[in-house]
Structure 1
């Protein structure tokens, strides 16, 4: 296995129905028709996923696509019907209940759409609760709780109760509580979907800020493609329990593997996804108007580049790797090419 892979999921199934295990006996891979004939629901069907250290891996799909069930299988909150899951070099499906409890307490963090804060505890007490369960002394856990509360921007609200907080602030408490154990792997299941659009955008910004600081390995579920392309290093698109494609946001938009993925991405603003490096040409100009990072989106550089009379250098690791012109930027903005 690639040493950068922290979670390796191979041929994972989650079927619901009386004949679920029989359908998979002998390594069979039943199709949708076979499942329907047996009156079995294929919530997750033959999924293969490798999550790399330090990446934000987004799983997305419409309601009922299987994305939440898959994440619950990956954390063994739901028992897979078949397959293999290796976490940090350990066979997760062979872990005992005691080992799973220890893994979830110290290795995995989870944040769900429902904040699940305890109403009778203050912000400080809610955030410190996972360490209290671990038996950490009061002084140590409160000191650590203060640190993560400040990290998520809630300093000064340590003594508040959940009812005294806005929805966005409650979600920050949930995020702080999951971070206090310093997890190696962080699961977030549509954590911002219950928030109004303005607060949701603010929480996405906060999430990006936290990731820039903490460099966590994150599995993030959403049904919102705009949210996915803002956050993801790679995206898995699911349909009917199966993964249609795994790729970077840019690759999904430019080279969809199936008609379903093409439909899913059809209305995405391409300039927010396509990056300078994929639209550059060899650096042959005698004069340049400036320089842009290779991974800058067209949306981010459009104003500067399209107004300039000369192309811009495209830079990576301090070196010029190409040039990008106003024409290339305009082609993306108007959908040409």
Structure 2
């Protein structure tokens, strides 16, 4: 690989890592570069997945406090992501590359619709289930202060903490619902298969099923992306040694170095972005991904 190509991958990996931490879909920057320098699509996906694993590692470090606040729900969510990603990675190894042209646009459109119409879909789901409950973070007044009872910690009164985490004692937690787990499992199959835009899918699904803001579920999204990328990377590395499934290691290393740095600093940037801006970035990235598929 030419030195200039390595430098370009390093720079694009840094930017992609920051985008992954905030939204997801950073691979839509690195994958085209890998293919532009002559790497076949299947090899490019494997090379990119191994490298972009480090972006999710960096973003999880940046979101470590938010992730710890959700630790009661993480084992189930991570198990779902790992199983789905493993299935998706194996599918990539055995399926024709042309299948990507059909699957990717459909799922990106679905993710875009989930993000744009999240509030309406959430209200419709709640109405259908006949569930009341407290208003979501989107509906809360911007200047509202949390209520406390004398002698009791805030967590005892509210099932949802200031970070948006839902108390594990709540049996009605949407993070434990079968619908959410099933949807995230399907998104994880896609994530293991292609990786790009999986974060947009996760944010759309989590927002719809929980009714929470994009920012408050970003830590969950980043940890699930870490599980997906790790599972897929392990499958590809094993396939490299067992069946000679090619990986361009120097390309993976360049992306890894840049994306680790970008993921860490991108996480801090994402936590300072207002909800409307984060949602707008998701829409722009998803539309760019669609255009990229058809150009």
| TM-score, L = length of structure 2 | 0.25
**Larger RCO, structure (CA 8 Å, separation 6 or more):** 2
Higher strand share: 1
What TM-score, normalized to structure 1? 0.22
Question: Which structure dedicates a bigger proportion of its chain to helix?
Answer: 2
